[in-house]
Amino acid sequence: MWTTQHMPNLRGKTVLVTGANTGIGYETALAFYRAGAHVVLACRNLDNAHRAQATMQQAGGCGTLEEAHLDLVSLHDVQHFADAFMQRHPQLHVLVNNAAAMVPPVARTTAEGYELQFGVNFLGHFALTGRLYPLLDATPGARVVTVSSMGYLEGRLDLANLRLEKGYDALREYRQSKLANLLFALELQRRIGATHGQVQSLAAQPGANRTSWAVDISAEYLAAAEVRWGGPAMEPWQGALSSLYAAVAAEAVGGKFYSPDQNGGYRGYPTEAAIAPHALDEALAQHLWQVAEQVTGITFPG
């Protein structure tokens, strides 16, 4: 049973966590901070980042914390953030692509006109990873952890509906974005291998967690969901373990998917998980990558 007690000393390491101000992102960043890393809290709202930093410092840790504004809804903002980050930091040991838009009831789009969940969860993180890749590639032992979810199992890519040409279904778009994240993480590792790079790309999913999103929807929704999950939702600190394991465990390797080990991936402690066949479709992953390159104007690795 792997927990944060198994994390190595991360003093001297730089870690970037997107969406670090709440839920699983907060718990992920806090664990890195407690392990001694310099943790950059990349958040859409700086006030929220400031409050998260203060709460982490009160909780205690032996690392250091840095707030940073990153709005994944805008590819221009992603570029601005990445340029500033590389000016300030000579290395990046771990990038955790954690932030997510989750089932907004009304259709919304990014600054470039793409459906919000696909744009933030996948395109924004694709662009961020690509712009920071030279720094990752120059850092020995660097890892990229991209967060998916069990929703990927029901996800299907419809690359002809990325601008809501065919209408909007909140859960369908969320599942698509999380499938895209898993496809991206696996394809990135294949491309790194083809270019003989040393960065490792891994995927993780947190299982079922009692985050503010789940609680805020309704008590009835949460109760019904817990029946499907086979037990009570986990607290966010436990959901963060899969990302942390992928980021630091010696036995975690690129091209793998890490997930809670019980109730079909909804509960438990991190382990390597089987990947559904549609997420292993290399032709689909390559098509998705080509679309992302065209949208973002970024080509990497190599």
Q: Buried b vs exposed e over 102-111: b needs ≥16 C-beta within 10 Å?
A: bbeeeeebbe
Residue 187: helix, strand or coil by DSSP? helix
Would you say 232 and 195 are in contact if contact means Cβ atoms under 8 Å apart? no
Two tokens at 270? 């991190």
Going by their DSSP bridges, the two strands 257-262 and 94-97 should be labelled as: unpaired
Report the Cα 251 to chain-centroid distance in Å: 20
> Up-side HSE of residue 185: CA atoms within 13 Å toward CB?
34
Closest CA to 192 of 137, 252, 138: 137
Q: Buried b vs exposed e over 7-44: b needs ≥16 C-beta within 10 Å?
A: beebeebbbbbbbbbbbbbbbbbbbbbbbbbbbbbbbb
Active site residues: 174
Distance between CA atoms of 53 and 34, rounded to whole angstroms? 12
Would you say 130 and 300 are in contact if contact means Cβ atoms under 8 Å apart? yes
Q: Buried b vs exposed e over 178-195: b needs ≥16 C-beta within 10 Å?
A: bbbbbbbbbbbbebbeee
Give the DSSP H/E element, type plus range, for residue 267.
strand 267-272
